Amino acid sequence: MTDLETPVVTPPRTGALRRAAPALLGYAAVRALGLITLAVWSAANGKSAHTLLTARWDSLWYTRVAGLGYGYEVRLPNGDVHSNLAFFPLLPWLERLVSALTPLSYADAGLLVGTLASLAAAWGIFAVADHVYGRRAGVCAVLVWAVLPIGVVQSMAYSESLFTALAAWSLYAVLTGRWLTAGTLAALAGLTRPVGAAVVAALWVAAITSFVRDTPTAPDTSYGRNRSAPHPDGAPAWRRALGMLIAPLGAAGYVLWVGHRTGGGPLGYLDVQAGWGNGFDGGYAFARFVGDKFTSFPSALAGVGLIVGVALVVWLYVTCVRQGQPLPLLVYAGIVTALALCASGYFGSKPRLLLPAFPLLLPLAVALSRLRTSRSALVLGGVAVASAVYGAFWLNGTGPP
């Protein structure tokens, strides 16, 4: 039996936090390093780290929704319309709730929600990786997610951390057969970001697969390393079916509401996104963007970097498939990756859009978990320092992350 085939026993709930504690403490340390570096860098540039984290770019749009509701828009000279209907409502709802219960402003409430959500996301990533590959890999998965170059977004008043938390725990619920929990969390993820469709698809594929598996002649499709053990979902069929029905309610409800409000029908939300220059063109616009980098020598280096980055993402996904990751994780990561790389606008934000695709990091986590602790700590520590510096440089730039 190989290392990847060693059975994993899901820990009891009473010891779950204790089991995840090393991952959460390591995550908090990495984020603290990033915030300290950002504060020092921003002060040296005469900027406020607090403002960069709470009151720029998308965070401003979320706080406007929290304070003013929907209907705010900006008309650009070229005729494009940037409407706040593009931003899904769960984060501003939480900002409004926290602000009502505390002395915090909407912006600071968003920062608090983002911070707590990032810890919940780290715990969810640990739970998934621990369930599939074991505790050591779970700790490494959280730390790899923390030290990503765009990891500073996890500490902003953005929706990425909230979405990743809901997605990770929904996927964990799918892997452990908690279908109603999975469906509810998927619905909430669908109220957070458009890519919530990836969580819904993962749940639907898992549920359909479980129905097929229940047939007498179906092949074994058990998840993770413990393929010889009974599948964890002893749930009756109605629970799986109800989970499937609940899952898309969040995203579908908001999209239909936007269509009704704008008079655009079921596709009205796509019109709102088009006003922002967003769409899905299979990656054509992104490919042109990369190609344009090769018109001069300095920018050609950036073009090479983009090609290498895309190749790395594709290689990681192929590795996930070859490692035999559970099907729900592959479906989720595949859709998140496709939507990020094949969208037609905001090319500089693509690394941020990939942030929720944490299953892509599991091959790296497994490799690090096989190293001696001192070596893996040295690698992760070095990358954490580089990530903190890059994050501070990035946020102090002119464009949105």
Q: What does the alpha-carbon distance between residue 235 and residue 79 come to, in Å, rounded to a whole number?
A: 53
The pLDDT value recorded for residue 231 is 44
What tens digit of pLDDT does each residue of 76-129 get?
888 889 999 999 999 999 999 999 999 999 999 999 999 999 999 999 999 999
The pLDDT value recorded for residue 5 is 38
Mention every residue, 6+ apart, whose C-beta is less than 8 A from residue 293: 299, 300, 302, 303, 306
Give 164's pLDDT tier (boundaries 50, 70, 90).
very high
Is residue 4 predicted with pLDDT exceeding 80? no
What tens digit of pLDDT does each residue of 192-219 get?
999 999 999 999 999 999 888 776 554 4
The pLDDT value recorded for residue 236 is 80
The pLDDT value recorded for residue 84 is 95
Pick the range with the lowest mean pLDDT from 153-162, 219-228, 364-373. 219-228
The pLDDT value recorded for residue 287 is 85
What tens digit of pLDDT does each residue of 12-57 get?
454 889 999 999 999 999 999 999 999 999 999 999 999 999 988 9
Is residue 227 predicted with pLDDT exceeding 50? no
* Beta-carbon count within 10 A of 78 CB: 6
Instruction: Render 244-266 in DSSP notation, one character per residue.
Output: HHHTTHHHHHHHHHHHHHHT-GG
Q: What percent of the chain has pLDDT over 70?
A: 91
The pLDDT value recorded for residue 140 is 98
- Running DSSP on this structure, what letter comes out for residue 234? -
Q: What does the alpha-carbon distance between residue 274 and residue 191 come to, in Å, rounded to a whole number?
A: 20
Mention every residue, 6+ apart, whose C-beta is less than 8 A from residue 335: 195, 197, 198, 201, 202
Contact at 8 Å (CB) between 81 and 73? yes
The pLDDT value recorded for residue 223 is 56
Is residue 7 predicted with pLDDT exceeding 80? no
Give 6's pLDDT tier (boundaries 50, 70, 90).
very low
The pLDDT value recorded for residue 108 is 97
Pick the range with the lowest mean pLDDT from 106-115, 157-166, 276-285. 276-285
Given phi > 0 = left and psi -120 to 50 = alpha, else beta, which region is 76? beta
Q: What mean pLDDT is reported for the chain?
A: 90
What's the rounded mean pLDDT across residues 225-249? Answer: 72
Give 229's pLDDT tier (boundaries 50, 70, 90).
very low
Q: What does the alpha-carbon distance between residue 128 and residue 306 come to, in Å, rounded to a whole number?
A: 29
What tens digit of pLDDT does each residue of 293-336 get?
888 777 888 888 889 999 999 999 999 999 999 999 999 999 99
Q: What does the alpha-carbon distance between residue 22 and residue 36 come to, in Å, rounded to a whole number?
A: 21
What's the rounded mean pLDDT across residues 357-380? Answer: 96
The pLDDT value recorded for residue 215 is 65
